[in-house]
Structure 1
């Protein structure tokens, strides 16, 4: 398992669960200095990041790109796969495709979280799930053509009313015949929705593609009440060798949150240098 940390370039979500914000170069330099393997990047738009410039920054800091978030599609443009308007759903899929093109240059997956939307405005859950499945099917085909995976993140009940648990997400993915989609297990959301976090991870098994390494209060691991050793053991038991990415609130400040995240990783997983 490897350690990653979130970097957001989206001005609208400066108060969100992102450790570093604003300055990509500075964020990468701090991530590298603290011992992280990679960053998880949240760009403003697919074209807002020049791939070669990003590659140069990552190479200079000896970092990888763990994943690319698509949250700006919702927070900035109000694009959703479950909008009642077909034109918005189409724009949302196109936006995600373009973000995937950027991520694929680094063999990285994109994350589908906030853009999944919810059943609202007269749209019932069954229809919303049908729209979501259709969007993911289109993105699954694009991911297969690019040779990358796509990460689907179940959200807690306060952020979405569609799919909340890893088991329900797995059923949805398998039922839709999606071949390139994997699960993103966010420990903060799981703390709200899952009765047994280690058990949920074990049941996810090979479908698990990424982990958001956050505590019960969305602060850095170790600063809440989540019991991490059984979670890490469950990940080892299923042979998970991906990223534990600190998508956490920058509290009390970004530097402190980053230091605590990497300290927790070393405590429960081992030295990042060891892989």
Structure 2
């Protein structure tokens, strides 16, 4: 398993569960100093990232790009994949494709989380699910040209009513014709929704493609009440070799949150 840390460039999300906030140059250099393997970046849009500059910064720090988030599509641009308006759904899918194109240059994936939308009084549950599936088919097929999967994240009940558990996510992925979508299993969301986090990961099996490594209160690992022994054992059981990525509050500050996550990563993966 490999270490990863989040960098946010989205001012509208400041204070949210991302560890590093001080721009790409400073954040990537700091992550490299701490020995991380990769970064996961949340940007307001692809126009905010110069691919050549990013490549230079990553090479200098000895890091990989693990993934690019699409969350700003919702947070900043109010685009979501289950919108009742067909034109807005197409805008949302294009936003995702653009992120896939940028991430793909680095052999990295795009993540769909908050952009998945939800059913409501206007869009009923079957229709919202249909729209989401159409978007995952579109994105999964688009990502295939880069030989990377699209990553889909089940969220807790307070953030979506599409998929909230690993089992929901597996069922959704099994309904798709594309095989190029994997699951992001976020331990914070799982702490709310799963009866047994370890068993849920085992049931996800080879569909588990990315992990958000965070504690029960969304603080860095070791700052809440999550029990990690069985979780790490479950990941080893399914032969998970991907990233454990810190998507956590920058508590008590970004630097210490990054250091604490690295200490926890080394403890749990090397024990």
Q: Which moved more, 1:4-13 or 1:172-181?
A: 172-181
CA distance in 2, matches of 1:270, 1:244: 13
Counterpart of 2:212? 212
Contact 1:40 1:66 in 2 (8 A): yes
Q: Which blocks of at least 5 consecutive residues in structure 1 are unaligned? A: none
Residue deviations 1:52-93 (CA, integer Å, cap 9, x gap): 110000001000011110011111100000011111100000
Helix, strand or coil at the partner of 2:270:
coil
CA distance in 2, matches of 1:160, 1:94: 21
Counterpart of 1:56? 56
Structure 1 runs (4+) deviating above 4 angstroms are none
Aligned residues: 271
Residue deviations 1:24-45 (CA, integer Å, cap 9, x gap): 1110111111111110111110
Residue deviations 1:106-148 (CA, integer Å, cap 9, x gap): 0001100010011124211111001100111111111122321
Contact 1:4 1:244 in 2 (8 A): yes
Residue deviations 1:130-171 (CA, integer Å, cap 9, x gap): 110011111111112232111000000001111100111111
Q: Which moved more, 1:117-126 or 1:223-232?
A: 117-126
Contact 1:10 1:22 in 2 (8 A): no
Counterpart of 1:174? 174
State how 1:183-194 maps to structure 2 within 5 Å: 183-194=183-194
Counterpart of 2:270? 270
Contact 1:7 1:19 in 2 (8 A): yes
Counterpart of 1:198? 198
CA distance in 2, matches of 1:177, 1:90: 20
CA distance in 2, matches of 1:13, 1:91: 21
CA distance in 2, matches of 1:156, 1:33: 33
Counterpart of 2:117? 117
Counterpart of 1:23? 23
Contact 1:187 1:213 in 2 (8 A): yes
How well do the aligned residues superpose, as a CA RMSD in angstroms? 1.0
Residue deviations 1:231-258 (CA, integer Å, cap 9, x gap): 0010011100000000000011101111
TM-score by length of 2: 0.98
CA distance in 2, matches of 1:8, 1:52: 19
